Each structure stands twice: as structure tokens, then as C-alpha cells.
Amino acid sequence: MLVHVSAAMSIDGYIDDREPSRLVLSSPEDLADMHAARSGCDAILVGAQTVRSDDPALLLRDPELIAQRIGEGRTPQLMRVTLTQSGDLDPSARFFDGSARTVVLTSRERAGELGARLSGCAEVAAIDRFDPPAILAALEALGVGSLFVEGGTRVLTAFLAGGTFDRLRLAIAPFFVGDTRAPRLVNAARFLNDWEHRLSLRSVRALGDVAVLDYERVRA
């Protein structure tokens, strides 16, 4: 499976602050480019904390991108995917509004109860582990050939630390957050791509006032 990881952060590495409203890190130009990149994938993955805190719809809005997908014989919208160990998801969230095929990955112990609670809102699939290989295997079984991973911190850490990605799109906003209690791009971990195993930098772009770095992981 082709895995794209996309994230936006402040200069000092934070993907949000601690205010109730979501911190805007992207410029309009960056958002348009990110949506274009997103539209090329079959599914988009975010963690349950992102669903709870940001209430994202994760839908394509650009008619041209939607028409392009339809012209390629694909669904108008990407499959939306989240994963939860606690099962703490609200069926009234925009993520479950019926605008796109929606899948929740959870443990076998939670699958029955969660499936009943989200009946008509989402498909619930059981997984034995919450690591990227198990997640990708479950999605491949659902017909996903390419995945767009957007966060939050725990999900980004899992995919980036293990090198379970092919491309990384990193947008850097021109300001600092400076709050050590705010969520960072990644948690502390042992990363496969350390100083001896570098990513390949494919491009650096200025999109409005945001710098976008496009990396590719060189597989052994």
C-alpha cells in the first residue's frame, strides 16, 4: 500500500495549541495543495482524539477534485478511517455524517458494542493490534490501495517512527507556539529514519506564507 503522511506544524514543532478552537497552521494555498494531494488517495486516517477534539469532516470540497476522482472511476470522497481503543466516539460528530464511507478500527472486545452504537454511521472492523502493519492489513482487506495519514500525534508517531510511509508532506507555519503542554508533531520514539538513514528531500515550496517540504522515504 502507498502511504502518504501529511502534517502541518509551527516552527517549533507543534501541531496545535491548547485553546478550545483549532489552531490554523495552513495558508489557503497550502490547504488547496494538501486537498489535491489528499484527493489522490483511497482513504484518509486520523486518530480518535482528532475526531473528538477537531470534529473534522475530512471531505473534498473542490468540485474539480471530486470530478477528477469520478472520472478515474473512484468514489467522489475518500474513505474516512479512525481507530480507537476506548470506543469513545460520538455518532453525532461530522466524521459520521454519512457523506463518505466511514470505517472505525477497534479491538475485538470493543467491536460489538461500538458497531451497535455506530450502526448506520460507520463500519466497524476489529484489529488485534494498533500498530501500522495491522492497520494497513485491515485497510487492504477493505480494498484500500493508498492511504493519506493526517494525525494526530500518536498516529503520526506510529507511522513515522516505524518508517511505515512512502511520502511525507510537512507544512511549516511562520510562527511559534512555545507551550510544552501543547501537542507536538511526534512523541519521543526510536525512529527508523535517524541521522544515518535520512529521508530524501524532493522539493521545498512556498505556498503563501507556509513552507512545504516534500520528502520520500528511500526503501532498502
CA distance 164 to 186: 14
Helices (H), 58-186: 63-71, 108-117, 132-141, 153-161
Q: How many residues does the chain have?
A: 220
Mean pLDDT confidence for 164-175: 98
Q: Report helix, strand or coil for 214.
A: strand
Q: What is the pLDDT of residue 20?
A: 86
Cell numbers describing residue 170? 510537512
CB atoms within 10 A of CB 43: 22
- Which domains, from first to last, does the chain contain? 2-216 (3.40.430.10)
pLDDT digits (tens, 9 = 90+) for 58-76: 999 999 999 999 999 999 9
Output the pTM of the full model: 0.95
Say if residues 60 and 35 touch (Cβ distance below 8 Å).
Answer: yes
Instruction: Determine if the peptide bond prior to 145 is cis (ω within 30°).
Output: no
pLDDT tens readout for residues 95-145: 999 999 999 999 999 999 999 999 999 999 999 999 999 999 999 999 999
Query: Measuring CA to CA, how many Å separate 59 from each of 44, 56, 76, 99?
Result: 10, 9, 9, 8
